[in-house]
Structure 1
Amino acid sequence: MPVFVGSRAEAPSSHSRRCRWAAALAVALVLVAPFVAAQESPSHTWANPVDIDYRYNFEQMNEGVSYRTGADPAVVRYRDAYYLFLTLADGYWRSTDLLHWQFVKPSRWPFDSEVAPATLVAGDRLFLMQAATQPRPLLYSTDPAHGRLDFWTRLLPPVPGAVSSDEHYTLKPGELPPGPWDPGLFQDEDGKTYLYWGSSNVHPLYAAQLDLKLGDESQGEGKRLAFVTQPQALFTLHPAEHGWERFGQDHTDEHTLPFMEGAWMNRQGDRYYLQYAAPGTEYNAYGTGVYVGKGPLGPFEYAPYNPIGEKPGGFVQGVGHGSTFQDAYGNWWNTGTSWIGSNWTFERRIGLYRAGFHADGQMWVDTRFGDFPQRMPDHRLKENEDTFAGWMLLSYRKSASASSALPGHPASDAADENPRTFWVAASNTPGQTLTLDLGGERTVRALQVNFADYQSGRYGDAPDIVAQFRIEGSRDGQHWDTLVDLSHETRDRPDAYLELPREARMRYVRYVHGHVGAHTLAIADLRVFGNADGAPPAAPAQVTARRLADTRNADITWSPVPGAVGYNVRWGLSPDRLHSTYQRFADQPTKLTLRSLNKGVRYVVAVEAFDEHGVSVLSATQNF
């Protein structure tokens, strides 16, 4: 949806959007005998996609395409809470624990909607800037918990040297595209503020210092906003050298120019980490890279360990265009944008992943088992401390049945770990059921119901856009007990993650429908997590790694492991830094062509197997 030639922009719609106050109310998870005694317990785990009430997008209203979406997450910690801003949300989310998020409707919202927002906490204020191609107000709040947003009467001035039109044009020497689109804000320890921006398959990322005075509003101060330095071009993509910057599914498109966007800056020690996204949000291989500098305006050097964040396999795919922040304990986290792309190119979700910095300066993002349950820490994590809960996927390719189904959308589509295929009930009526047979008794710890949008017919907000259902379990398929009851839920749950207060034994899991706001009932996947009895699988053997003639690519092979559900191909710069992961299921070939490599960089790879019992030890490592 280009705003101008070479742009990656998603322009705000001119259509008005119906909005409502939404409060995420805690709902007790109730377990009934014979599983365990009923008990109310808070959740301590999460699984991606992040469980928030993604908003129905209205951009494609004229084309009749209806879908929920969330993208370009910007997370900051302000006082005692975390604030999450997304593209086209008409509001934001607040959390005190990174697990439970409450939607906040602002008191004033001068935008049609924000796109690719930038955030900054400075001077006891939380600032918000939308992507723009012309001067727009910079918002701030000292009370975001209650939705109070003020905006400066003085606008961000035009980018010096930039053309003023957002129509198609040809740049002249010295001209810049209109902006700032996809902005990023950063304040250094000396109080100086910097703006980074750019979203294009032609133009580089840009940066400049801003004059952001924080004074007494009652005295007319605090309203100064100006460019201190001229914008400077920083860097562009080099897909001929960096395999992960190539466009397309698994970086297979050698002909389309890739996009660079989503700038985000962090400082750690005396190093500055300018992060960016590539090559395209509509593919599984959408990732995050970083250039490291000695100052906020550089000079910057490309990190040989790029991409720092990539998740091309599994249920959730893609981690580009997000933000990196610290929690209350000092742990680092990275958010990113995940690809759905069923209804439209820009149908997406968001993910949350652990991140960090090694002592020698290497930045990393851990996406291993990134869409399986993860434990939220209540302390400062050690460098090698894992947040993976160890609860395995019990629902993959299991026998599924339903009370009804539309042709072409069978119940089996709800157990294939693919959000682009889905079961659709013949009618959206209470009592419709979807049942999984786990193949034997399992210990179940958590579930995830991922609703899909199939001819949903909704745009914007409405009071009836809520998700209400219950989950039942059974040992024999005849006698059923309630595991989770959301019959009275008051918010939408497109990707409802439900941790059970205590483990429960069962063979059958059944979704019983109550209500969804869409015109149809569609479920992409009913995911079940826990463990089967028995030992984890053996480590994969005969692992080989061969760099191809085009050294951006390498073939990785391994021998199948009997009973494995899938494999994690893990690679990095050394055996103790295998930070990149490509998840594969056992019904896929045990050969993977990695196309994410940098020329001139040597790598180490190993493979682990997983099944319903657990995870194997790593295979022997191979250099390539």
Structure 2
Amino acid sequence: MSVRFTTLLVLSLLTAITAAQPTSYCNPINIDYGYTPFARFAENGRHRTTADPVIVNFRDTLFLFSTNQEGYWYSADMSDWTYVHRKFLRDDKYQHDLNAPAAWVMQDTLYVYGSTWELDFPIWKSGNPTANEWEIAVDTLNVGAWDPAFLYEEEEDKLYLYWGSSNEFPLLGTEITLPELQTTGITRPIMLLHPQEHGWERFGEYNDNVFLPPFTEGAWVTKHDGKYYFQYAAPGTEFSGYADGVLVSSNPLGGFRYQQHNPFSYKPGGFARGAGHGSTFTDAYDNYWHVSTMVISVKNNFERRLGIWPAGFDEDGVMYSNTAFGDYPTLLPASAGGKDFTQGLFAGWMLLNYQKPVQVSSTFGGYHANYAVDEDIKTYWSARTGDAGEWLQTDLGAVSSVRAIQINYADQDVEFLGKTQGNRHQYVITGSVDGEEWDVVIDKRGNQTDVPHDYVELPAPVEARYLRIENVAMPTGKFAISGLRVFGTAGGERPDTVENFVVLRSPLDGETTRMASWMKWKQNPLADGYNIYFGKAEDKLYGSIMVYGANQYYFTGMDKADAYYFQIEAFNASGISERTQVTRVR
């Protein structure tokens, strides 16, 4: 470090104090994920994990509950999340806390309930959840409900429960009596999967494993414009294609029909993948969003994170969520400016250091340095220690305008099980235009919070070619990073429009009859990657797939009976190409 470091440190602290409120966030969302509480799930290494999220808007504050976190988070802006420690289950019986919890607002009260096949879980309620003030609303619900979800209809003063998680049995629904908070005793089957018709519901990473039926779970119901949108997850939480589909009905407990445009929440490519088992909520501006589970599944199939996507209903009542550039900087609700999210809320800052040169202080085993810039959350670089002074440096290739940085820590030789508190990540990031003189870009040496996916939007653009992150303190384990991701704008050329884009659909035979397409295109020498957009109408290309470092993709998530439309675009650190003309396949 140069002698300028101390002076620039003081200036950076002053800048941090006066920094403007962030206008963006980046998936996976940056919350203090707990570690798996189960030793049997940590045989290949202890790790952070949560899944099955539900977010509800209570008095214009968002409350987030998810699996095995011994508490919950709340946020007024979807950027800063405050954790509240609270165990809802009985300590004398359960090692863990809530699995796939349900949360809903009813008559100005927030309610919470956890998954169970037994009849010994209470329903909790609170009128002041930010202060952790809770009481038991009913000691036992008279049905065992795994993956529960509740829908309260204020106009009718009626409450409905939906639940189920199985690769054999249907998802179910029932009415809950008020004020008793018990079922009427009448349970109705809502839906089963149809993997013989819907490719994305088929089991496996590539929807091609037929040895095991797919799983359906994660019920959630949103009422919009007089219709009930029943959401469900398939085919398995460990797969990149883990997604949410939707059925529609005018009846809350029956008559649901498959929405033609499915899956509505889907993210099989990019840095962090998966967009299944979630919930749909509205922000303080009445905009719709969808939160769901993202996949890591390296140390255990249940190693997972959370992502939030802009969502909504189009003019024809089609429910969608937009995951295009879904793990790039995304605009926050306050800057959304409207309810039409069909074009997404991508902030426009490109990834500047994909597969660019890196240098490191040390390397542990086979966890090589380039894994920190390969846009795959499943791979990571690890230093030999977690000591202060370990570092990683990335070369952007040319001086660029840096707007935001995301630091995704990985778990290597961590010691914790379950939810731990008082953790903190401390680090400093410096930047240089020439590799000689270094300025402080981000200073978190005094940070007292746990930030496993820290995302920092800079108060003003910083010109740099080289960026170095230096470790100061880790909560546990070695200094390991799955993605040091630098976003901003670069000089140079953006790619031209993709040429020779061809989509070949599978024939009318075999196990994947009509449910798969092979896409190929001419490799663009300027492209880092490509976005493929698809849908069942030319003006409803709501599905998206991000592909890095290839000029082909085998898409196995198609519905058997429908025609499809496709477009593709190329992108690099300098920008995004024009999309191709729409291609129709019958």
**TM-score when normalising by structure 2:** 0.93
Residue type of the partner of 1:49?
Answer: P
Bigger mean CA offset, 79-88 vs 512-521? 512-521
Q: 1:221-240: CA deviations, max 9, x gaps? A: xxx12212411112111111
Pick from 93, 113, 128: which aligns with 2:112? 128
Q: Which secondary structure does the structure 2 equivalent of 1:124 belong to?
A: coil
Contact 1:322 1:337 in 2 (8 A): yes
Q: Please, which of 318, 321, 324 is the counterpart of residue 362 of structure 1?
A: 318
Instruction: Tell me: CA distance 1:310–1:63, structure 2 relative to 1, closer, same or farther (3 Å).
Output: closer
1:54-65 alignment runs, 5 A limit: 54-60=33-39, 64=43, 65=45
Instruction: Tell whether 2:518 aligns with 1:555.
Output: yes
Q: Is the 8 A contact 1:109 1:149 kept in 2?
A: no
User: Structure 1 pair 440/150, CA: closer, same or farther in 2 (3 Å)?
Assistant: same
Match of 1:494 in 2: 452
Deviations 1:85-122 (A, max 9, x none): 01000000000001110101238764640000011100
Q: What is the CA-CA distance between 1:66 and the residue it aligns to?
A: 1.1
> Counterparts of 1:378-527 in structure 2 under 5 Å?
378=334, 379-384=337-342, 386-462=344-420, 465-527=423-485
Label 1:273 to 1:46 Cα distance change in 2 as closer, same or farther (>3 A): same
1:477 and 1:251 map into 2 onto residues whose CA distance is: 47
Match of 2:62 in 1: 82
Q: Displacement of 1:602 after TM fit?
A: 1.1
Amino acid at match of 1:414: A
Mapped pair 1:581 → 2:544: yes
Q: Does 1:544 align with 2:529?
A: no
Q: Which residue of 61, 78, 84 maps to 1:104?
A: 84
Question: 1:192 Cα deviation (Å)?
Answer: 0.7
Listed as ranges, the gaps of 5+ residues in structure 2 are 1-7, 508-512
Pick the aligned partner of 1:183 from 132, 141, 148: 148
The offset of 1:38, in angstroms, is 8.9
1-side partners of 2:9 and 2:195: how far apart?
Answer: 52
What are the residue-to-residue correspondences of 1:323-338 with 2, within 5 Å?
323-338=279-294
Moved more, 436-445 or 259-268: 436-445
Which residue identity does 1:579 align to in structure 2?
A: Y
* Aligned with 1:93 (options 54, 73, 76): 73
Give RMSD over aligned pairs. 1.9
Cα displacement string for residues 528-580 of structure 1 (whole angstroms, at most 9, x for unaligned residues): 11111134321112212222112111122222222101000110122221111
2:576 match: secondary structure = coil
Partner of 2:573 in structure 1? 612
* Cα 1:604–1:107 shift into 2, 3 Å: closer
**Are the aligned partners of 2:404 and 2:486 in contact in 1 as well (CA < 8 Å)?**
yes
Name which of 202, 209, 233 aligns with 1:246.
Answer: 202
- Aligned equivalent of 1:321, options 277, 299, 308: 277
- Return the alpha-carbon distance in structure 1 between the equivalents of residues 20 and 188 of structure 2: 52
1:597 aligned to 2:553?
no
User: What amino acid maps onto 2:64 in structure 1?
Assistant: L
The 3-state SS of whatever aligns with 1:412 is helix
Q: Where does residue 53 of structure 1 map in the other structure?
A: 32
Q: Does 1:375 find its partner at 2:331?
A: yes
Structure 1 578/562 Cα, relative in aligned 2: closer, same or farther at 3 Å?
Answer: same
Return the offset for 1:30: 7.7
Shift in CA distance, 187/488, structure 1 to aligned 2, threshold 3 Å: same
**Do the aligned residues in 2 keep the contact of 1:107 with 1:149 (CA within 8 Å)?**
no
- Specify whether residues 296 and 461 from structure 1 end up closer, same or farther in structure 2 by C-alpha distance, changes over 3 A only: closer
Structure 1 residue matching 2:186: 3-state secondary structure: coil
Kindly state the Cα deviation for residue 153 of structure 1 after the two structures are TM-superposed: 4.6
Match for residue 178 of structure 2 among 212, 217, 221: 212
Deviation of the 1:145 alpha carbon:
0.5
Contact 2:42/2:300, CA 8 A, preserved across alignment: no
Equivalent position amino acid for 1:137 in 2: P
Superposed CA offset, 1:131-170 (max 9, x none): 011121001110101111111353101x3xxxxxxxxxxx
Distance 2:66 2:17 in 1: 37
Describe the shift of the 1:507–1:449 C-alpha distance in structure 2 as closer, same or farther (beyond 3 A).
same
Aligned equivalents of 1:116, 1:384: Cα separation in 2: 28
2 CA distance for matches of 1:385 and 1:568? 13
Deviation at 1:127, TM superposition (A): 0.5
The verdict on how the C-alpha distance between 1:385 and 1:330 changes in structure 2, with shifts beyond 3 A counting, is: farther
Following superposition, the deviation at residue 457 of structure 1 comes to 1.6
Partner of 2:472: helix, strand, or coil?
Answer: strand
Which letter maps to 1:118? A
Aligned equivalents of 2:16, 2:220: Cα separation in 1: 47
Q: Distance in 1 between matches of 2:263 and 2:277?
A: 12
Q: Summarize the Cα distance change of 1:153–1:277 in structure 2 as closer, same or farther, 3 Å threshold.
A: closer
Q: Distance in 1 between matches of 2:244 and 2:394?
A: 36
Q: 1:570 to 1:544 in 2, by over 3 A?
A: same
Question: Could you tell me the TM-score, scaled by structure 1's length?
Answer: 0.87
Q: Return the alpha-carbon distance in structure 1 between the equivalents of residues 262 and 138 of structure 2.
A: 41
Tell me, yes or no, if the aligned pair for 1:355 and 1:364 is still in contact at 8 Å.
Answer: yes
Aligned residue for 1:152, secondary structure, equals strand
Identity between Structure 1 and Structure 2 (%): 37
Unmatched 5+ stretches in structure 1: 1-28, 160-178, 214-223
After TM superposition, give the deviation of residue 312 of structure 1 in Å: 0.4
Note closer, same or farther for the CA distance 1:461–1:383 as it changes in structure 2 (3 Å cut): closer
Between the aligned partners of 1:506 and 1:426, the Cα distance in structure 2 is 28
Aligned to 1:421, what secondary structure does the other structure show? coil
How far apart in 2 are the matches of 1:396 and 1:537?
A: 15
CA offsets 1:346-399 (integer angstroms, 9 cap, x no match): 010000000111122111110000000011132333455541111011111111
The 3 A distance-change label for structure 1 pair 583 and 108 is closer
What does residue 528 of structure 2 align with?
565
Instruction: Provide the residue aligned with 2:3 in structure 1.
Output: none
1:264 to 200, 207, 220: 220
Give the aligned residue type for 1:155. T
- Aligned-pair CA distance for 1:298: 1.9
Partner residue of 1:40 out of 16, 19, 25? 19
Take 2:47 and 2:340, find their aligned partners in 1: how far apart are those partners?
40
* Aligned counterparts of 2:69 and 2:449: Cα–Cα separation in 1: 15
Partners in 2 of 1:30 and 1:349 — Cα distance?
A: 33
Distance in 1, matches of 2:272 and 2:582, equals: 26
